[in-house]
């Protein structure tokens, strides 16, 4: 359950019981039972269609870089001046460093990152086959560090974790986002959609209010983007450092005066899964820079 102050969703679900009660007086008694079964079928079919609807058509999907100023775009394009390069260099070092009693590095199992990790970052969050849990890329890296290498746990949002995540993500640079939302991932995707549409906090705003309905408009000095996740982990000028998508989601919740997700919360992964699906087709931009 979400323990944050919120009001109604943008699109509250229709109550089947309420709809049948409303229409009952209009239907002859002998036909009401047949009508009830038919109505349940229609509503079920409608809910399936709704779950497959894209609120933002793929033809309109645009990276956050398209909403950035010329200075930010130039900084991202500068292979020497891009400050995220510092984290990339650190990530390459950590990839090769032995950890734990066995003295294994990431490279010991996976080899060169550009070959073994190509395309991996475009598919997360994803369901872990063994546990059935929904994991993001940082979860997987933390899991490998403790279980496979038997090394010390990487702290949430630590420089080493972000550096490794950025290093792995760069192997997929230019590839399109393509997460899986079928099978056991389906319920998580549906919950992510609900979270995206749910008004929250003292400002009573949803993600969709800003990033669907008001994209391209100015909020003070900033232009509201579509909130696409294809640049994470990202260097943000306001942070003066690299941060994960989970950190950004927590910041947005604080911005609408709502209680942020706890670190590692399932809700953050569900919302991330929906966002990755929502941005399907966008190329992964790493190392990315945002304001």
Catalytic residues, which ones? 252
Helices within the chain (DSSP H only): 16-23, 29-51, 70-77, 85-96, 106-110, 113-116, 137-143, 159-170, 186-197, 207-211, 245-255, 266-278
Rounded to whole angstroms, the Cα distance separating 23 from 291 reads 52
CA distance 196 to 9: 9
- As a 3-state breakdown, the chain gives helix, strand, coil percent values, each rounded to 5, of 50, 10, 45
Q: Find, among 64, 54, 51, 122, the residue nearest to 278 by Cα.
A: 54
Query: Of 137, 135, 119, which is closest to residue 127 (Cα–Cα)?
Result: 135
The two three-digit tokens of residue 192, written as one number: 């992510």
* Inter-residue contact 231 to 65 (CB < 8 Å): yes
SS3 23: helix
Beta-carbon-side half-sphere exposure of residue 46 (alpha carbons within 13 Å):
10
DSSP structural state of residue 144: I
3-state secondary structure of 243: strand
């Amino acid at each position: 359950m979400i323990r944050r102050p919120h009001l109604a969703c943008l699109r509250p679900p229709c109550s089947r019981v309420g709809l049948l009660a409303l229409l009952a007086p209009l239907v002859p008694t002998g036909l009401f039972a047949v009508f009830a079964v038919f109505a349940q079928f229609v509503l079920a079919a409608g809910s399936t269609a709704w779950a497959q609807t894209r609120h933002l058509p793929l033809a309109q999907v645009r990276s956050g870089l398209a909403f950035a100023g010329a200075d930010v775009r130039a900084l991202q394009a500068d292979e020497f001046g891009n400050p995220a390069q510092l984290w990339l260099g650190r990530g390459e070092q950590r990839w090769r460093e032995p950890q734990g009693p066995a003295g294994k590095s990431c490279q010991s199992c996976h080899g060169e990152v550009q070959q073994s990790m190509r395309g991996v970052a475009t598919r997360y969050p994803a369901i872990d086959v063994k546990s059935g849990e929904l994991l993001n890329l940082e979860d997987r890296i933390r899991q490998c560090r403790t279980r496979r290498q038997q090394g010390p746990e990487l702290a949430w949002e630590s420089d080493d974790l972000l550096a490794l995540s950025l290093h792995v993500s760069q192997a997929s640079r230019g590839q399109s986002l393509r997460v899986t939302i079928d099978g056991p991932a389906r319920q998580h995707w549906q919950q992510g959609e609900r979270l995206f549409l749910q008004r929250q906090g003292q400002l009573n705003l949803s993600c969709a209010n800003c990033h669907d309905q008001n994209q391209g408009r100015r909020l003070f000095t900033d232009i509201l983007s579509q909130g696409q996740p294809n640049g994470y982990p990202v260097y943000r000028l306001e942070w003066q450092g690299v941060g994960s998508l989970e950190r950004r989601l927590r910041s947005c919740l604080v911005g609408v005066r709502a209680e942020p997700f706890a670190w590692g919360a399932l809700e953050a992964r569900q919302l991330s899964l929906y966002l990755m699906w929502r941005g399907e087709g966008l190329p992964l931009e790493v190392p990315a820079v945002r304001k």
